[in-house]
Amino acid sequence: MVTVGPKVMADMSPIDSYPVRFVYNVVQIILCSYMCVEAFMIAYRNGYPVLPCAPFDAENPPAANLLWLFYVSKVLDFMDTIFIVLKKSWRQLSFLHVYHHCTIFLFYWLNVNAGYDGDVYLTIVLNGFIHTVMYTYYFVSMHTKDIWWKKYLTLMQMIQFVCMTTQALYLLTTGCTSYPPRIVVVYAGYILSLLFLFAQFYVNSYTKKPTAKNA
Amino acid sequence: MVTVGPKVMADMSPIDSYPVRFVYNVVQIILCSYMCVEAFMIAYRNGYPVLPCAPFDAENPPAANLLWLFYVSKVLDFMDTIFIVLKKSWRQLSFLHVYHHCTIFLFYWLNVNAGYDGDVYLTIVLNGFIHTVMYTYYFVSMHTKDIWWKKYLTLMQMIQFVCMTTQALYLLTTGCTSYPPRIVVVYAGYILSLLFLFAQFYVNSYTKKPTAKNA
């Protein structure tokens, strides 16, 4: 999509898929809200502890169905990339965007196959919430560009990654083996790479004073 | 609240509870989305038929917990009235608003106690969806007043009532007794009263040409 898309669009005028994006954002708000609350409810109903190291039930995993839905929803997220390509908004087709979308999909393929229960629920609570706020932001931005809380959205995304890293480090340092430890190691490294990229985006977007060049 | 509120506010300046409304609308979007999708999932998981007359399990009602949450969420909805009173926006404190909020609360008290399973799930799917869109509308309107789909929201609310009335009439005409028929009769009449009030609001708000008096 990222390599072929720009070539296909080269001779075409940009397409602003307003009606599709309108419905898409509302659907994403509803779906992400559901996944966030349902992940919390699964943890609550199954008596997961407040601190990490929840039980992992390989036979009847209570979180598996929801995790599968979360994985499939990452396919739906690729629509974001399609909208960018159609709009020929190449600046938005950043390394952060492409890296994030591709790797998260591969990572949850791994989770669906090997880490499909227990502590994985927290990533759905956190990411479901952030995605709800993010698609709400996209929806509001279809009405006005004047959104004072834009930078707080990026901040919330970074707080999300800090929570996820903390959970992973807790699992590793306490020697918890209910969730596959090798996945946790890869996960911690991966989330830190995202935290770094988002922090870089935050600094570039909100802290640098505009110069004549990029004003 | 409706009688005492205006008296309390009489000597006070209007209060615009922006920060509370900001969080409140996001919470409502997430909660209503969850209830909408979860009601659908309960119907799906328990093999409810496409046409009304779903089984009513009085012993282990799969929909009861969610219905209870839906009932409690109607208490949260009273915040809307509090915001109106604080803002001293008396025009919004209409008969439609007060009648709707009070009666829906009483009606779901009845449902929680006597109609707590089966076909009641559809009202949560429909109303959860409409409330998600409505609180999204409120949230967008905190950013801009220029929302082209405002009248379509009222239209969608009316379509919701038509679907609910159709379900009730189907249950009554096919002689379905799994859901308490006496509740269905009261429900059909109640929903028709709401449809009438919303239609009246639609005509007054969107079809009458502004005159010198109300322009």
DSSP string, chain B: -TTHHHHHHTTS-----HHHHHHHHHHHHHHHHHHHHHHHHHHHHTT--SSS-----SSS-TTHHHHHHHHHHHHHTHHHHHHHHHHT-GGGS-HHHHHHHHHHHHHHHHHHHH--SGGGHHHHHHHHHHHHHHHHHHHHTTT-S--TTHHHHHHHHHHHHHHHHHHHHHHHHTT--SS-HHHHHHHHHHHHHHHHHHHHHHIIIIISPP-TTT-
How many Å lie between the alpha carbon of B192 and the closest alpha carbon of chain A?
28
Please tell me the total count of domains within chain B: 1
Which tokens belong to B91? 């025009």
Residue B12 lies in a domain: no
Which stretches of chain B sit within 8 Å of chain A by CB?
A: 26, 29-31, 33-34, 36-38, 129, 132-133, 136, 139-140, 143-144, 146-147
Is the pLDDT at A59 greater than 50? The verdict is: yes
- Which residue of B26, B129, B143 is in closest CB contact with A144? B143
- Residue B215 resides in a domain: no
pLDDT digits (tens, 9 = 90+) for B131-143: 999 999 999 999 9
How do residues B52-93 score in pLDDT, each as one tens digit?
999 999 999 999 999 999 999 999 999 999 999 999 999 999
Check CB contact under 8 Å for B29 and A132.
Answer: yes
Q: What residue has token string 């779906």?
A: A31
Contact B139, A140 (CB under 8 A): yes
What distance in Å separates the CA atoms of residue B16 and residue B21, rounded to the nearest whole number?
A: 9
Per-residue pLDDT band at B159 (split at 50, 70, 90): very high
What are the pLDDT digits (tens) for B34-54?
999 999 999 999 999 999 999
Which residues contact residue A60 at a Cβ distance below 8 angstroms, ignoring those fewer than 6 apart?
none
Q: How far apart, in whole angstroms, are the C-alpha atoms of residue A161 and residue A122?
A: 11
**Which residue on chain B is closest to A34 by alpha carbon?**
B34
Chain segment A171-196, per-residue pLDDT in tens: 999 999 999 999 999 999 999 999 99
**Burial class of residue B82, CB neighbours in 10 A (0-12, 13-18, 19+):** middle
Cβ-based neighbour number of residue A197 at 10 Å: 17
Residue A110 resides in a domain: yes
Instruction: Return the closest-CA partner of residue A158 out of A197, A202, A191, A195.
Output: A195
> Is A131 annotated as catalytic?
no
- Residues A42-68: what's their mean pLDDT? 97
* Tens-digit pLDDT profile for residues B169-202: 999 999 999 999 999 999 999 999 999 999 999 9
Instruction: Quote the CA–CA distance of A71 and A61 in Å, as a whole number.
Output: 16
CA torsion B127-B136-B146-A16 (nearest 10°) is: -110
Q: How confident is the model at residue A215 (pLDDT cuts 50, 70, 90)?
A: very low
pLDDT band at B213 (very low <50, low <70, confident <90, very high): low
Q: What span, in angstroms and rounded, lies between the C-alpha atoms of A131 and B20?
A: 21
Minimal-distance CA residue of chain A relative to B40 = A34
Let me know if residue B190 belongs to a domain.
Answer: yes
With bands split at pLDDT 50, 70 and 90, how would you rate the model's confidence at B102?
very high
Q: Per the domain annotation, does B21 fall within a domain? A: yes
Q: Is residue A10 part of a domain?
A: no
B212 part of a folded domain: no
Pairwise pLDDT comparison (B120 vs A211), residue with the higher score: B120
**How crowded is the C-beta side of A41, counted as CA atoms within 13 Å?**
14
Q: Do A33 and B38 touch (CB under 8 A)?
A: no
Q: How far is B31 from chain A (nearest CA, A)?
A: 7
Q: Is the pLDDT of residue B211 over 80?
A: no
Smallest CA-to-CA distance from B183 within B102, B120, B99, B103 is with B120
Grade residue B215 by pLDDT with cuts at 50, 70 and 90: very low
Q: Give the H or E element holding residue A114.
A: helix A95-114
Which residues on B lie below 8 Å from A129 (Cβ)?
A: 30
Q: If 0-12 CB within 10 Å is exposed, 13-18 middle and 19+ buried, where does residue B23 land?
A: exposed
Structural domain that includes position A37 = 17-206
Please state, in angstroms and rounded to a whole number, the distance separating the CA atoms of residues B141 and B83: 14
Asked if residue A139 lies in contact with residue B140, where contact means CB atoms within 8 angstroms, the answer is yes
Residue A4 placed within a domain: no
Residue B189 CB burial class (10 angstroms; 0-12, 13-18, ≥19): exposed
Residue A90 reports pLDDT greater than 90? yes
pLDDT band at A2 (very low <50, low <70, confident <90, very high): confident
Return the residue of B nearest to A39 by Cα: B34
Tell me the residues of A at the B interface, defined by beta carbons under 8 Å apart. Answer: 26, 29-31, 33-34, 36-38, 129, 132-133, 136, 139-140, 143-144, 146-147
